[in-house]
């Protein structure tokens, strides 16, 4: 269980925290006070012994103002990496200033370098844990973590948040990471490997930041890149191009190219041998 304090005004925030820690068992029968806590949103995380989460009604009795939406949790950055025991979620390592240190994670309490893997941000909302892929770049992942912290901070302060309906700000790297995560769960390993390679090549060819920035010329450039830079055959070019188009379709991006823009290949018919020839 995680105990998280909320951003409130000045010393009143600390006072509420002290009240929660000093509460008697009769006031909070299911609560275990945290070992340590700092005042400040998302920096007040403390690990306690496993116990049921404090009910919303009990928290309200403690003097914390009622919120339209009860959000608990933090927003630490995670990275999903490959270890000898399989895929694992590992906390990232941060600098003294709180920035994510690229490629470094904590594995069993020790720093380890893992350049592979995808960064995730995590928070709790309405009692449910939510994880979101934010790409493979440490700096960009850290930026998205800060954006989410600011959003949850505003919600906790009672500031209404407008629904994010602008899909133009979906980042290409994060969208690819999430698409591959879903692919890995629902497709065979061989299919996942093919998807991962095709989209990795696309990121090497296309340097756009956001999904909605991808244009027709980026796709045409990708076909040439596969042929000239990666020395792919016509059928391989077509297959990888088709994978990228499937990814873009899943992001709601359609009608960028016409049929004539697709790469072509000639399907070779298998040569037929007569029985007499095979017996020779």
pLDDT tens readout for residues 74-101:
444 677 777 777 778 888 888 887 788 8
Residue 141 is predicted with a pLDDT of 80
Residue 276 is predicted with a pLDDT of 60
Range with top average pLDDT, 183-192, 205-214, 240-249, 257-266: 240-249
> Per residue in 168-220, pLDDT tens?
578 888 889 889 988 888 889 999 999 999 999 999 999 988 898 999 999 99
Residue 280 is predicted with a pLDDT of 54
Residue 218 is predicted with a pLDDT of 96
Q: Using CA atoms, how far apart are residues 188 and 266, in angstroms rounded to an integer?
A: 27
Give the residue-averaged pLDDT of 115-122: 84
Give the residue-averaged pLDDT of 118-137: 82
Quick one: pLDDT band at residue 48, thresholds 50, 70, 90?
A: very low
- The residue extents of the domains of the chain are 2-61, 77-160, 172-261
Task: Give a three-class secondary structure readout of the chain.
Answer: CEECCCCCCHHHHHHHHHHHHHCCCCCCCCCCCCCCCCCCCCCCCEECCCCCCCCHHHHHHCCCCCCCCCCCCCCCEEEEEEECCEEEEEEEEECCCCCEEEEEEEECCEEEECCCCEEEEEEEECCEEEEEECCCCHHHHHHHHHHHHHHHHHHHCCCCCCCCCCHHHCEHHHHHHHHHHHHHHHCCHHHHHHHHHHHHHHHHHCCCCEHHHCCHHHHHHHHHHHHHCCCCCHHHHHHHHHHHHHHHHHCCCCCCCCHHHCCCCCCCCCCCCCHHHHCC
Q: Is the pLDDT of residue 252 over 70?
A: yes
Query: In terms of pLDDT, which residue wins out, 55 or 112?
Result: 112
Range with top average pLDDT, 109-123, 133-147, 226-240: 226-240
Decide if 64 contacts 55 (C-beta within 8 A).
no
Class of domain 172-261: mainly alpha
Range with top average pLDDT, 39-53, 58-72, 135-149: 135-149
Q: Is the pLDDT of residue 14 over 50?
A: no
């Amino acid at each position: 269980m995680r105990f998280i304090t909320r951003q409130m005004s000045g010393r009143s925030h600390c006072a509420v925290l002290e009240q929660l820690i000093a509460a008697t068992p009769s006031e909070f029968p299911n609560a275990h006070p945290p070992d340590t806590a700092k005042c400040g949103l998302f920096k007040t995380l403390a690990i306690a012994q496993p116990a049921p989460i404090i009910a919303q009604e009990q928290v309200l009795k403690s003097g914390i103002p009622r919120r339209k939406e009860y959000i608990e949790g933090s927003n630490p950055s995670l990275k999903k990496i490959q270890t000898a025991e399989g895929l694992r979620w590992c906390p990232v390592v941060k600098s003294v200033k709180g920035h994510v240190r690229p490629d470094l994670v904590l594995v069993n309490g020790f720093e380890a370098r893992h350049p592979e893997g995808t960064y995730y941000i995590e928070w709790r909302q309405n009692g449910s844990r939510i994880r979101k892929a934010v790409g493979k770049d440490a700096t960009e992942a850290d930026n998205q973590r800060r954006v989410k912290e600011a959003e949850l901070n505003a919600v906790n302060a009672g500031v209404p948040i407008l629904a994010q309906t602008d899909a133009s700000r979906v980042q290409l790297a994060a969208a690819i990471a999430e698409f591959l995560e879903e692919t890995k769960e629902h497709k065979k390993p061989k299919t996942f490997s093919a998807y991962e390679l095709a989209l990795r090549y696309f990121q090497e060819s296309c340097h756009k930041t956001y999904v909605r920035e991808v244009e027709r010329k980026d796709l045409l450039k990708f076909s040439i890149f596969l042929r000239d830079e990666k020395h792919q055959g016509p059928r391989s070019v077509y297959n990888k191009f088709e994978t990228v188009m499937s990814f873009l379709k899943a992001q709601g991006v359609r009608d960028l190219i016409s049929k004539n823009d697709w790469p072509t290949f000639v399907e070779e018919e298998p040569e037929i041998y007569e029985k007499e020839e095979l017996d020779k």
